Structure 1
Amino acid sequence: MTDVLAAPAEPVELAIGGMTCAACAARVERKLNKLDGVTATVNYATEHATVALSAPVPVQRLIAQVEGAGYQAREIARDDREEGPDRVRALWRRLVVALLAGVPLADLSVTLALVPSLRFPGWQWVLLALTVPVVTWCAWPFHAKALRAARHGTGSMDILVSLGVVAASGWSVYTMFGQSADAHADGVWGLILQPAGSMYLDVAAGVTIFVLAGRMFEARAKHAAGSALRALAQIGARDVVTLEENGAERRIPVAELRVGDRFVVRPGDTVATDGVVETGACAIDASAMTGESQPVEVTAGDAVVGGTVALGGRLVVRTERVGADTQLAQLVRLVERAQSAKADVQRLADRIAAVFVPVVLALAALTLGGWLLGGAPLEKAVSCALAVLIIACPCALGLATPTALLVASGRGAQLGVFIKGHQALESAKAIDTVVLDKTGTLTTGTMSVTALEAADGVSRAEVLAAAAAVENASEHGVGRAIVELAREELGTVGEAEDFRALSGLGVSGRVDRHEVLVGSVRLVRTEIGTVPPGLDSRRQQWETDGHTAVAVAIDGRVCAVFALADTVRPSAAGAVAELRALGLRTVMLTGDNESTARAVAAEVGIDEVVAEVLPADKASAIARLRAEGRVVAMVGDGINDGPALAGADLGMALVSGTDVAVGACDLILMRTDLSVVPAAVRLARATLRTIRGNLRWAFGYNVAALPLAAAGLLNPLIAGAAMALSSLFVVSNSLRLRRFEQAEVSTVEHSAHSAQY
């Protein structure tokens, strides 16, 4: 690998080999963080390290630092092959050999322990012959990693396993030639407490089998936990039919597409990359990207996203983003980094696991010494010390949090909830208030003019032409609605000079040497002073009915008022009801007037409304709620929502939102159906419940098992089985999150973001 400097802005992803427990992950993390300019997070479940660099650091230096700690590392390329299946197969081969030798060994050991009269000359050597391949080749991964850790003066779970296997085997060889080899267990209960006459060969083989099985199922579970992310990464097209300038078609790999190229999408084809439809119309299935079951109709001028599927019709699409810049690639990286991130609760578990191994070694030594000082036979003391070594596996503790978070982020991606960091899940669990933006969030954001009232002596066409000319330079939803009406009625739209956007209030400009102002009544009153009584009366009536009123002033005189309506999303009322059923307080935040805001709030079931808030004040409104002791989630989509999203405890941005909104949020909601909001909250709660259950088991298991082992109440073989089963329990409990379901999506809406007047 060349000694390339990693760009400070782009985190380096490393695959870490040789980690066997959370203590290993904590050790690698500490080593990396000792380098200047490095902030590293190591995840035991994913076996990845995410290294953020505040200064250029050679990638080879990072790898050398990891190797100096006794582990392997390599940089992860974007096209790296998944290693999970290879690891599972390698573990499976060792497990098969261990079972073929270990099962007869266990049967023979139990039989000879219960019925000593069946012992034959040289029976010990038969047991030893069956044991050797298990405790050498099959257990070699544990021995190799234990030796590597010992060379670097560090502890790991493999040291406990390797010491247990070696000690059991060595003690058995010693006792084979002594009188203690003739001892036998006192019935089945004696066998459970102490195996065949202090012959621990079956214990050594059994522990190897249990740990290998646990590692194999753990590797399979990790692979399964990342299946949602892999499926997301693989939905993209592999090749594409491009359209040349002369109309000829040519099939090329997607990697060769460039911005500005045109490509063809036929029925059943996967859209190759992000672009804009030039010609054609069809329904697009976006379920693989967003989880929405209903197709979306697109036509010329509409944006399409790579990874979606055309259901009918032929499209010609002009490429806008390729490769790593596409929405699909960005979302995959988003989930990968979220899975590599570390929650606060996991950091606590890592700190405990880091000191766990030396504590266990000390406890095993104390157990051995305590039994010997108490006058117990050497066999009993060794048995108890072995049980302590074997049962004290910190794997369950290390897997408790990251496996649940890994599964949750993958399942969330399938449902259209993209988690930018695991802190978002912890925040989502704690929220008690949900603030929802109105325009573009609770409503579709697509405004339409429902009425136009002109003052006496002013023609409708004159007002419409002037207002549309000014609004033609605006991207605001209200402006687009006025321009669309002008095109329908007048055929053309003029251009304004000296255009000026007044954030959250309106726009102004000069049209045919006339000064034109279009905006809220509040703006007009500030700039002009008064609104004619007739127009003001009509404006009040419209706002009472839930419409947005916009006034038009020409040369300092208010001469018309527009009424506009924004359609409430069909899913809004159901989503609000579900949020309230979850015990959450709901608040609507909008820059619209009080009457319109109240009408929309009543329609969707929200009682609390904060209206007529300028974009700059939205974050202040969030801050006031937090000052009251509320834990606040903000749901928005527009540029003006960015500060509020960033200021909330949890920011949720609809995918229709702008880059500013998406960049400021914690969760990206890919659905236009608002049921995704309560679904995200329920997923977070389910994940945190799973993590708490995992940690209770992991801590409780060690708290209960270690004293039992030290007291001589656990056979080392039983201890090995319990250790393996504890890890399997944690992993299988986390995998239940794969079955998390979102409420059925009943509608699909087209939405567009807009700021508010």
Structure 2
Amino acid sequence: MEREIPEQPRPLMLGDDSLDDALRRAHDAAKAAGVESDGPVDPEDHDSAEGPKVSFSFELAGLDDAPQIRGLEDRLNAVRGIQARIIYEPATAWVTAPAGYDPRVLEEFFASQGVSAHLSDVSLRRRAAAQLKSPSSGTTRRTRSRVDRKLLDRAKLAGRLGVAVAKEDKDEENAEVLFTARSLLTRSRLLVSLLFSLPVLLLSYVPAWQFPYWQWAALVCATPVVLWGAWPFHRAMLGGIRRGMSALDGASSVAILAAYLWSIMMLVFTAAGSPGWQSQPRWFAFRHAPLDAGELFLDVACGVTVLLLVGRALSKRSRAGLLEEISAHQPPLESEYEVFERHRGRGAASAVKLPVTELNEGDDVVVPAGRVIPVDGRVIGGTALVGPGLIAKEREPRQVKVSSAVHAGSAVLEGQLKIRVLRTGHRTQLALIRRWIDRATRRHHHSTYLSTRTASGLIPLAITVAVLNFGMWWLISGNLNAAFATSLSVLAGVAPVALALSTALAVRHGIEALARHGILLRDENVLRQLSSIDTVIFNRVGTLSEGKMSVETVVAERGENPELVLRVAGALAMESDHPVSRALVHAAREARDSGAGGDEIPHWIEVTHAGIGEDGQFTGLVTLPLKDAEGEISSRQVEATLWRPNNMSELRGRLAAAAVAGGTPLVVRWKGRDRGVITLHDSVKPDAASAVDDLEMMGVSTMMLSRDTYPVARRFADRIGISAVLAGIAPSRKPRTVRAVHTRGAKVAMVGDNSVTECLRVADVGVLVASDGTLEQLRQDDDSAVEVVVLREDVSAVPQLLRLARRIIRVIDRNITFSWAYNATVMVAAIAGVLHPMAATVLMLGASVLIETRSNQARRF
């Protein structure tokens, strides 16, 4: 009997008055079709599941637990035409819906379930590209998407695309308020200010050129410089006052205005305004003329302005960093690639031109020379020379061929590739790395904001000192001109910008330098921890060894068949992807294919109830040909175990000797007796020995953590020069062992892959050696187990990491010491009257340039 097909609900549109009724009918239709749903369905239904599709990715917040996901997925998938998948750890939802679907309905649905959902950046840009296409052009999936990048950027700042802008860090915005707006520091402002300042400076310092009323001409020339040329600094000061902060150029702004207004007072109320008055340049406060004689400081107002503009123009401080370079390095959204689409049921494939936003998993993309690879994938045709990209495991171009893995962001230098797409958009390795760097950068902006606020505290201090200095000089010397000149030197000489940049620049350059060389840091606090590391513990597997193992020897107990021992080991390890398991399975299959062991060894060994224990031992029930009491051979199911010995007391006789004679030992046991030992050869990484030597030369103790018995582990460690060996440590006891080293007073950096995550958590710094699969598992939120992610396969990344961290911390400490020493010295010199305001300005800019130059040392890797 056919099941009655329920009536399809009419399309649900946003803002429909009958929204609730339509949702109820959609829920009833899904339930009648056999799809269970325990709540109302909010997303809109569609007349048909056929036709073009559109995919959305949402970033979720508010997922309380993993079981909550099942209910959300069921409700979404109950709607005809919608397919949803929610991943708990990255807090991401992928939804496929019919074309023209409004994602706001999905966001409203998530909100009704207590979950906040926002379209990811990739989906936002893809949606903007689709909306900006001309509807009258008949654009289809096989036609070019001509989207103006300026229109896309405009769309990102408006409407739905404003979500990404709303997430901007407030601390970063507040920190920028303390700095002078870079957009106002234009070349034209500098040139005009310099043009009007030159006559003022020449007339002030060359008495022979001072004609009658020259001082009034100097005032006319100085006015546009002070009011327009120095406007960026005045604006920064006013913005800081409005927010209850002190802009870093606030003292300079006060100095410029004070010098200008004081000069006007002198021209109006003293002899300085008379026709024949002349000025003599004076560089020390105790040589200044008395008040009634008059003295002008127009040269100071113009000189400070021009020098500040020059200094800020030459300054390399910019928010444009590695993230912006990554964005610029990616292919534009409208760029097209040739794609071969395979048709099911037909062997033929058709070539079409598709934009980057429409590339999907499984497509075959052709990337010619000179183009950037837009996806992660595997080469299925062609050979080419591929550049390393901005962030790469390799630092040199490499030759790739069929079966080679390639990643988004790399450029094809020579040749042409045909790539099978594995990951696109936000799922590529480059996107994952970008999110990691973005998180580190946001944390850095927060700490930069705090340090900048501290530096801005110099401004009220300098103003207070200047006021007190003015009063003291007036009371002691009675010379108001001298009192004003010394106070002006205090304001012009302080360098809060140097103090603010003393940490920020070095940290940013260091984080970006490490990222460019395939090492990702969680935040700048890790640099301080790395600089104090005195012990590095390596997990042997995944860090020091190549990761590809091979069977070295098979030693059977007396009366046992070594071929059977090998076959049982391969059968037990069949379901694991560990290098040990792959080596056993490969050797067992080779022995089977070669016919080793003859007819006595079964061609296939059945394993049931297979499992892996806490200590990493494989267990299962295997069917083996065994002799009974009468000597007859019959197939019997017995319990078998594949385990690794931790110490010599666990083995006896020839098996004990075999376990220490070669590489990594594994013991095969069935029916409660150990039947044989298999040793595995594990190749050492080529640079492991040199990396360990580098660490020892830096004064860092090296240790190796291994499950192997001490003789085996010690033999491996001796090959690369490891100082100490922590051998015979079962996986469950490894975190306890690392903690024990830490509690003895050592500053520990644990280096390992994702198999020792708990060890990374208990160490002072956890260094994760990541593979492509590991990167997929990295969460976007905080993960205390991982402070550093190494994308490279070489061991030399570890000493390079520690060396750069130490250099950055040295640069930071020296910058901070110099900044405070400079500001204290310049204030004392200004108060003492030995520092002219112009000289103080030159020193202030020199200090900032010196700090920036020293901070650039962090870029060297």
Which amino acid in 2 is paired with 1:584? Answer: V
Stretch moving more, 659-668 or 157-166:
659-668
Partner of 1:241: 338
Structure 1 residue corresponding to 2:613, chosen from 499, 502, 512: 502
CA deviation after TM superposition for structure 1 residue 642, in Å: 0.9
Aligned equivalents of 1:134 and 1:620: distance in 2? 68
Which amino acid in 2 is paired with 1:475? Answer: D
SS at match of 1:244: strand
Aligned equivalents of 2:400 and 2:61: distance in 1? 39
Aligned equivalents of 2:520 and 2:736: distance in 1? 27
Q: Structure 1 residue 129 and structure 2 residue 224: aligned?
A: no
Q: Structure 1 residue 687 and structure 2 residue 808: aligned?
A: yes
CA deviation after TM superposition for structure 1 residue 351, in Å: 5.7
Aligned equivalents of 1:72 and 1:437: distance in 2? 47
Which amino acid in 1 is paired with 2:410? Answer: T
Structure 1 residues 688 and 540 mapped into 2: Cα distance closer, same or farther (>3 Å)?
A: closer
Partner of 2:73: none
Q: Structure 1 residue 274 and structure 2 residue 376: aligned?
A: yes
Structure 2 residue corresponding to 1:410, chosen from 505, 512, 533: 512
Structure 2 residue corresponding to 1:254, chosen from 346, 349, 356: 356
CA deviation after TM superposition for structure 1 residue 595, in Å: 1.8
Structure 1 residues 299 and 549 mapped into 2: Cα distance closer, same or farther (>3 Å)?
A: farther
Q: Retained in 1: the 8 A contact 2:555–2:678?
A: yes
Which amino acid in 1 is paired with 2:545? Answer: T
Stretch moving more, 583-592 or 709-718:
709-718
Alignment of structure 1 residues 527-542 onto 2, 5 Å: 533-542=653-662
> How much identity, in percent, do the aligned residues show?
31
Alignment of structure 1 residues 135-534 onto 2, 5 Å: 135-177=226-268, 178-180=270-272, 189=283, 198-218=295-315, 220-222=316-318, 227-238=321-332, 239-245=336-342, 246-265=348-367, 270-277=372-379, 285-286=387-388, 288-290=390-392, 292-293=394-395, 303-309=405-411, 316-342=418-444, 349-350=451-452, 352-455=454-557, 458-491=560-593, 496-512=607-623, 514-515=637-638, 517-522=640-645, 533-534=653-654
CA deviation after TM superposition for structure 1 residue 548, in Å: 0.9
Partner of 1:561: 677
Structure 1 residues 59 and 475 mapped into 2: Cα distance closer, same or farther (>3 Å)?
A: closer
Aligned equivalents of 2:310 and 2:365: distance in 1? 50
Aligned equivalents of 2:741 and 2:445: distance in 1? 25
Aligned equivalents of 1:436 and 1:67: distance in 2? 38
Aligned equivalents of 2:375 and 2:164: distance in 1? 31
Structure 1 residues 351 and 64 mapped into 2: Cα distance closer, same or farther (>3 Å)?
A: closer
Q: Structure 1 residue 646 and structure 2 residue 773: aligned?
A: no
Aligned equivalents of 1:377 and 1:312: distance in 2? 76
Aligned equivalents of 1:506 and 1:217: distance in 2? 63
Deviations along 1:325-350, whole A, 9 cap, x unmatched? 32212222322332343499968844
Stretch moving more, 155-164 or 571-580:
155-164
SS at match of 1:421: coil
SS at match of 1:137: helix
Q: Structure 1 residue 614 and structure 2 residue 730: aligned?
A: yes
Q: Retained in 2: the 8 A contact 1:353–1:398?
A: yes
Q: Structure 1 residue 704 and structure 2 residue 800: aligned?
A: no
SS at match of 1:176: helix
Structure 1 residues 193 and 439 mapped into 2: Cα distance closer, same or farther (>3 Å)?
A: farther
Q: Structure 1 residue 107 and structure 2 residue 202: aligned?
A: yes
Q: Retained in 2: the 8 A contact 1:636–1:661?
A: no
Which amino acid in 2 is paired with 1:498? Answer: H
Which amino acid in 1 is paired with 2:759? Answer: A
Q: Retained in 2: the 8 A contact 1:259–1:321?
A: yes
Aligned equivalents of 1:557 and 1:352: distance in 2? 70
Which amino acid in 2 is paired with 1:672? Answer: E
Which amino acid in 1 is paired with 2:210? Answer: R
Unmatched segments (≥5 aa) in structure 1: 12-57, 74-83, 742-757
Which amino acid in 2 is paired with 1:522? Answer: P
Q: Structure 1 residue 633 and structure 2 residue 749: aligned?
A: yes
Aligned equivalents of 1:60 and 1:281: distance in 2? 41
Which amino acid in 2 is paired with 1:338? Answer: A
Q: Structure 1 residue 573 and structure 2 residue 689: aligned?
A: yes
Aligned equivalents of 1:294 and 1:64: distance in 2? 36
Stretch moving more, 651-660 or 336-345:
336-345
Q: Retained in 2: the 8 A contact 1:228–1:411?
A: no
Q: Retained in 1: the 8 A contact 2:284–2:836?
A: no
Q: Retained in 1: the 8 A contact 2:647–2:709?
A: no
Structure 1 residues 561 and 370 mapped into 2: Cα distance closer, same or farther (>3 Å)?
A: same
Q: Retained in 2: the 8 A contact 1:592–1:611?
A: yes
Deviations along 1:271-329, whole A, 9 cap, x unmatched? 32223455677776546433634566767666433233567776554433322232212
Which amino acid in 2 is paired with 1:507? Answer: F
CA deviation after TM superposition for structure 1 residue 576, in Å: 0.3
Aligned equivalents of 1:534 and 1:152: distance in 2? 80
Structure 1 residues 66 and 703 mapped into 2: Cα distance closer, same or farther (>3 Å)?
A: closer
Partner of 2:845: 724
Relative to the length of structure 1, the TM-score reads 0.79
CA deviation after TM superposition for structure 1 residue 122, in Å: 1.8
Aligned equivalents of 1:620 and 1:143: distance in 2? 59
Q: Retained in 2: the 8 A contact 1:505–1:523?
A: no
Aligned equivalents of 1:362 and 1:608: distance in 2? 59
Tell me the C-alpha RMSD between the 2 structures: 3.8
Q: Retained in 2: the 8 A contact 1:470–1:516?
A: no
Question: Relative contact order (alpha carbons < 8 A, sep ≥ 6): 1 or 2 greater?
Answer: 1
Partner of 1:750: none
